[in-house]
């Protein structure tokens, strides 16, 4: 398969100095992209933890976290490790990039290309035990906007949007191009370190 545009390299601008969750989120997106581009997430759990902890030292201190820098590093490292071990797709997939621009719909956190050249988007949520309200809550509205915009851009190549709840992984869910929702656990796109290859939807 032809090479895709690389995600933003280490050292790229992440955000203005901030102690907000959005700053932590952007660092997680960047660190996930860096780990995938370097092939680090295919290594052992211990090697992955060591790499992530080392990189958070540079990334977290580049922000104005002040005395909260250690707690910020712990949060960044934890979220990144959960994503890479439980949600990153298996061999054969490639990273489309981070902060995927979807025009007026916003920016999807991460994008992936499947072995058959289809597009899967991820929206990451970082709060522990996050409550996602039933119905048309803000998180679902956001994911649906992304799905509509992505379907318009990629057409039949678009798979859907995974809403990844890093604080409660098993409550994550999947929005299809037709905006129907299913628990991520019961979709073909629940990945973890034990998964070798994805199921192919009918």
Q: Which domain holds residue 25?
A: 21-86
In this structure, are 104 and 31 located in the same domain? no
In this structure, are 76 and 133 located in the same domain? no
Predicted confidence pLDDT, tens digits, the chain (202 residues): 444 444 443 333 333 334 467 788 888 888 888 888 887 777 777 888 888 888 887 777 766 677 778 888 888 888 888 898 889 998 889 999 999 999 999 999 999 999 999 999 999 987 654 455 545 588 899 999 999 999 999 999 999 999 999 888 889 999 999 999 999 999 999 987 544 333 433 3
| 76 domain residue, yes or no | yes
| 54 domain residue, yes or no | yes
| 16 domain residue, yes or no | no
* The predicted structure's pLDDT at residue 159: 98
In this structure, are 160 and 99 located in the same domain? yes
In this structure, are 79 and 126 located in the same domain? no
How many domains does one find in the chain?
2
* The predicted structure's pLDDT at residue 25: 84
In this structure, are 99 and 173 located in the same domain? yes
Q: Which two tokens stand for residue 26?
A: 């952007």
Compute the distance between CA of residue 82 and CA of residue 166 in angstroms, rounded to an integer: 7
In this structure, are 146 and 167 located in the same domain? yes
């Amino acid at each position: 398969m032809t090479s895709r545009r690389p995600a933003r390299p280490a050292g790229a601008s992440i955000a203005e100095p901030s102690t907000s969750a959005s700053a932590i989120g952007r660092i997680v997106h960047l660190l996930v992209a860096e780990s995938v581009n370097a092939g680090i997430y295919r290594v052992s759990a211990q090697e992955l933890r060591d790499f992530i902890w080392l990189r958070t030292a540079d990334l977290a201190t580049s922000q104005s976290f002040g005395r909260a820098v250690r707690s910020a590093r712990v949060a960044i490292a934890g979220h990144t490790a959960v994503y890479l071990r439980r949600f990153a797709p298996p061999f054969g997939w490639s990273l489309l990039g981070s902060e995927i621009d979807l025009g007026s719909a916003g920016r999807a956190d991460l994008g992936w290309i499947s072995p058959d050249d289809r597009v899967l988007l991820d929206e990451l949520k970082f709060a522990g035990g996050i409550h996602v309200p039933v119905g048309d809550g803000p998180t679902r509205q956001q994911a649906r906007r992304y799905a509509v915009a992505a379907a318009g851009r990629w057409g039949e190549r678009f798979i859907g949007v995974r809403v990844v709840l890093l604080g409660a992984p098993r409550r994550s869910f999947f929005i299809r191009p037709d905006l129907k929702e299913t628990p991520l656990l019961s979709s073909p796109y629940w990945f973890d370190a034990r998964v070798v290859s994805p199921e192919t939807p009918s």
